[in-house]
Structure 1
Amino acid sequence: MRQLGELEAEIMDRVWSWGRPATAREVLNDLLKKRPIAYSTVKTVADILCDKGMLTREKDGRAWVYRATCTRQQYTAARMQDALSGSSDAAGVMASFVEQITPGEAEALRAALRAAKRRQAP
């Protein structure tokens, strides 16, 4: 899964944070709090995100409503998997990663591994 561009990431961040479908107008209004941007730019990038499979859209009256196709966590996990699969030394990459994480992150990783093991048990 490709890394998102700056505006793509900002749009996805809002849809993920809100936890609900959103219109391009809603995203625009929130983006305008931080910087000037045109509605057509937000709409175009939202449509590009649809083409990339990150958002779906459906008509609601005259507006398109955009919905995330995955969670932020699923997206991040897919990016991590891409990084691992792109290396000829996945074990080395994981070892380097583990050396850099905080104790809290290490505990979260252990908990995730335990949960995955329970789900895989017959």
Structure 2
Amino acid sequence: MHHLGHLESAIMERMWSRSAPASVREILVDLQRDRDLAYMTVKTVMDTLHRKGLLSREPDGRAFRYRPTQTREQYTASHMGEVLASGSDRRATLLHFLEQIPAEDLAQLREALDQAAGPQTGTAQ
């Protein structure tokens, strides 16, 4: 798992918001709405994201079209797992996390845990 820099994050956000592969030029045009960037800067960062395994690419003439290798949610879950694994006491880390999240997120977490557990077979009713 890789921590994303500021420009990497901006590029990935744009990639995740698209439903189709994108060229460097398309991402550049989108990014230039907020700031002035050079084509080679964006190309270099997108190539780096490809090397990190976050973007795949396919030839398109003399250039490439890129697409995310995982969804934003999959990336976030992987990052959360990495952060959790970096603590010396996973249980304590989880408890501190649970103390900080809003009640509605806690309810969604309970639902997700129930869903992940699946139907319980052989339980008494």
Q: Please tell me the TM-score bracket, short chain as reference.
A: over 0.9
More displaced, 100-109 or 31-40?
100-109
Deviations 1:64-101 (A, max 9, x none): 10010011111111111111111111111111111111
What is the one-letter code of the residue matched to 1:93? T
Q: Give the fraction of aligned pairs with identical amino acids, expressed as a percent.
A: 49
Change (3 A) 1:36 1:111: same
Change (3 A) 1:120 1:55: farther
Change (3 A) 1:30 1:113: same
What 5-or-longer segments of structure 2 have no aligned partner?
none
* Counterparts of 1:70 and 1:15, CA distance in 2: 10
**Displacement of 1:120:** 9.1
Q: How does 1:1-122 map to 2 (within 5 A)?
A: 1-118=1-118
Aligned length: 121
**Considering only aligned residues, what root-mean-square deviation do their CA atoms show, in Å?**
1.5
What 5-or-longer segments of structure 1 have no aligned partner?
none
Give the ranges of 4+ consecutive aligned residues of structure 1 lying more than 6 Å apart after TM superposition: none
* Counterparts of 2:6 and 2:66, CA distance in 1: 18
More displaced, 31-40 or 11-20?
11-20
